[in-house]
Amino acid sequence: MVLYRVRAVFFDLDNTLIDTAGASRKGMLEVIKLLQSKYHYKEEAETICDKVQVKLSKECFHPSSTCITDLRTLHWEEAIQETKGGAANRKLAEECYFLWKSTRLQHMILAEDVKAMLTELRKEVRLLLLTNGDRQTQREKIEACACQSYFDAIVVGGEQKEEKPAPSIFYYCCDLLGVQPGDCVMVGDTLETDIQGGLNAGLKATVWINKNGIMPLKSSPMPHYIVSSVLELPALLQSIDCTVSMSA
């Protein structure tokens, strides 16, 4: 049995525990097939999907003024109109959006080795899922990958007053688990939210998942630890605790 001095681990969801980017790409491929086979688009199909991807990356969502379904259908509607010209085609935009969304959700899977890691970790520390984003979108992902049973608590940024990197959401998570910030480790793939947030809140450690080995900008927040896969976490937690016990 391994005894961790870390008392709680906060996990990001997208591209940390599930391959959201990969699932989204699969969704786009299905839309390209639809546009080419049913509507006889050629290279315009890829252009439309590329435009939607850009719109998603720049998305500013305000739940008070619109719902995520309307906003994302509008991305498709605009991309189709920008590419093909003519009148707006809401019906086609809806067909594309719902195909992309349903395919994406089908591929949001918690891998067996990730499930096994979470199960083992939870025997020693408390686990919390901390994800930014719109309430509906993130809850649908959580349902799709069936990860609820692996965590002591789940916190969705869109349901709180502030999201990562605001310290308040981290303090809320600590209160939920009955721990102090200095007892906790944040694990995620985004420097500006996961890592900056963990640093802002004064957590024991931040762990950046850097799958692609990219070099961060000098201005980026500096994580305590960098790993290429979330599966490296158990060994890392042991080394964090060894360091703590030696320094004590």
Does the pLDDT of residue 1 top 80, yes or no? Answer: no
Does the pLDDT of residue 11 top 90, yes or no? Answer: yes
Instruction: Using pLDDT thresholds of 50, 70 and 90, give the confidence band for residue 243.
Output: low
> Which of 41-50, 160-169, 182-191, 235-244 is the least confident region?
235-244
Tokens 């899922």 appear where? 129
> How confident is the model at residue 4, as a pLDDT?
60
Considering the chain, what is the average pLDDT of its residues?
A: 94
Instruction: Using pLDDT thresholds of 50, 70 and 90, give the confidence band for residue 65.
Output: confident
The b-or-e profile of 95-129 (16+ CB within 10 A means b, else e) is: bbbebbbebbbebbbbeeebbebbeebeebbbbbb
Instruction: Using pLDDT thresholds of 50, 70 and 90, give the confidence band for residue 136.
Output: very high
Instruction: Using pLDDT thresholds of 50, 70 and 90, give the confidence band for residue 221.
Output: very high
Mean predicted confidence (pLDDT) in 162-183: 97
> How confident is the model at residue 2, as a pLDDT?
58
Pinpoint the alpha helices (H) of the chain.
20-37, 44-57, 68-84, 90-106, 112-121, 135-145, 167-177, 196-201, 233-247
Interstrand relation of 225-227 and 126-131 (parallel, antiparallel or unpaired): unpaired
Q: How far, in Å, CA of 169 to CA of 103, rounded?
A: 31
Mean predicted confidence (pLDDT) in 20-32: 98
Tokens of 85: 């010209």
pLDDT digits (tens, 9 = 90+) for 194-219: 999 999 999 999 999 999 998 888 89
Closest CA to 121 of 246, 235, 243: 235
Does the pLDDT of residue 248 top 50, yes or no? Answer: no
Tokens 């008392």 appear where? 7
Q: In what order do the strands lie in the sheet with 8-11?
A: 153-156, 126-131, 8-11, 184-188, 205-209, 225-227
Q: For the whole model, what pTM was predicted?
A: 0.93
Helices and strands in the chain: count of H runs, count of E runs? 9, 6
Structural Rg of the chain based on CA atoms: 20
